[in-house]
Amino acid sequence: MVTFSANLGFLWTDQPLPAAIRAAKAAGFEAVECHWPYDTPTAEVTAALKETELEMLGLNTPKSSGGIGQFGLSALPGQEDLARAVIDQSLSFADDIGAHSLHVMAGIASGPAAQASFYAALTHACHQAKKSEITILIEPLNRYDAPGYFLNSLAQAEEVITSVNQPNLKLMFDCYHVGRTEGDVLTQLQARLPLIGHIQFASIPNRQSPDQGSLDYKQVFAAIESLGWARPLGAEYHP
């Protein structure tokens, strides 16, 4: 049976994070996930998770720090020390609230120097994350929503995962981003299933609820279930 995780970066954003967690529970979600929960004390997040008995599947590293960065820091040449510091802070927060994964955001960059910076940041993140058994995720973002983002295709993400070669580095497969840029979502998902650490979804092209748009999510969810996927799928859409 397919189950779902509420992405609280998009859902119940009018409420403080602990209240949003409770709202997700009341709505029947099996888990929750976040974008950037860092302004909320970890004790408050943990208390809401304990009260609702919901898992926190994951969160993102910050988009910027000290005015540097736009969609992340980890592939920015010359910012390696800052990227590592941000990763360490994010992992500490994730560990405190019992999150299962951390999405390391690459940033707006390109070229060999950016690739070297990203590989170094991910290697550091994977080594640090092993202490808490946290999975590190990377996610290709489509060129319409994040123009210039370093990681922009599944093939590139696969190359990164293979090159960094760490067992706790996985792909965040977002059906919305894949559908916007790479076509057949189900074919792409089936081909890369061994690399996937988390799956997210939203309608294409408007990133709204899955009963809209060009992709038949009844078919997608049935296919994901038939592949043996047992973890909650991330509802990352605008309500």
Contact 178, 185 (CB under 8 A): yes
Q: Single out the catalytic residue among 44, 53, 139, 182.
A: 139
Q: How many CA atoms lie within 13 A of 189 on its CB side?
A: 27
51 is an active site residue: no
* Residue among 44, 133, 225, 236 flagged as catalytic: 236
DSSP state of 206: T
Residue 205: asked if its preceding bond is cis (omega within 30°), the reply is yes
List all residues 6 or more positions away from 214 whose beta carbon is below 8 Å from its beta carbon: 179, 203, 204, 205
Sheet containing strand 233-235, strands side by side: 55-56, 31-33, 4-7, 233-235, 196-201, 169-174, 135-138, 101-103, 58-60
Alpha-carbon distance 4 to 239, whole Å? 15
3-state secondary structure of 123: helix
Distances, alpha carbon 6 to alpha carbons 14, 164, 205, 233, in Å: 14, 30, 20, 9
Is 236 catalytic? The answer is yes
Catalytic residue annotation? 139, 236
